[in-house]
Homo-oligomer: A and B are copies of this chain.
């Protein structure tokens, strides 16, 4: 068969990404295969490998877009919100987002690249940039803490929220949290915040070093 030129490379690429995303959203990653994607878009399996190195590469791109979307929604959620509500808003938005795309979120959690190390840098950058909203929101609360402490607290609360949302979408562990994910998220955020403020109060300010333990 020869060239079709019905779609440009870029169109074809987007077609593949869209088809793959919809398959994942509908039947989950177990129903996904190169043949299935190809069938959806009316091309042959081989064509996929002209556009993407392999399926992992394709999935990584889908995950990256999901991360972009999430980051966007996090940023939108806190614009024009009162400072003291921003962290709970972030948490709620994070949780809601994962609940809205459970299969794709599970993909993000469960998809592992074969071989042990080679997650591309741009992917890690996207993960890191999820932290940014949390750092921004914590900044006023931790105004006098050391930069290192601020980074640490942002990571902690982010990871905690992330953990709760992951447990909630992974149906294997869900009995623990399924009915009450949002409640637990609130609990985590509020109690952690209270802890931060309590530390600040006790030491006059948050001590730049070793303010805990």
The digit string for A169-189, where 1 denotes a CB below 8 A from any CB of B, is 011110111001001101110
Given the interface pairs A160-B188, A187-B153, A187-B156, the reply to whether A171 lies near B109 with Cβ below 8 Å is: no
In chain A, positions 145-183 with a C-beta closer than 8 Å to chain B are 152-153, 155-156, 158-164, 166-167, 170-173, 175-177, 180, 183
Task: Assess whether A213 is interfacial by the CB under 8 Å rule.
Answer: yes
Q: CA A198 – CA B198 in complex, angstroms? A: 6
| Chain A residues within 8 Å of chain B by Cβ, number | 56
Residues of B within 8 A of A172 (CB): 111-113, 119, 123
User: Do A127 and B162 have beta carbons less than 8 Å apart?
Assistant: no
Q: CA A183 – CA B164 in complex, angstroms? A: 19
Task: Assess whether A5 is interfacial by the CB under 8 Å rule.
Answer: no
The digit string for A80-110, where 1 denotes a CB below 8 A from any CB of B, is 0000000010000000000000000010011
| A interface majority secondary structure | helix
Residues of B within 8 A of A190 (CB): 195, 212-213
Task: Assess whether A137 is interfacial by the CB under 8 Å rule.
Answer: no
In chain A, positions 116-130 with a C-beta closer than 8 Å to chain B are 116-117, 119, 123-124, 127-128
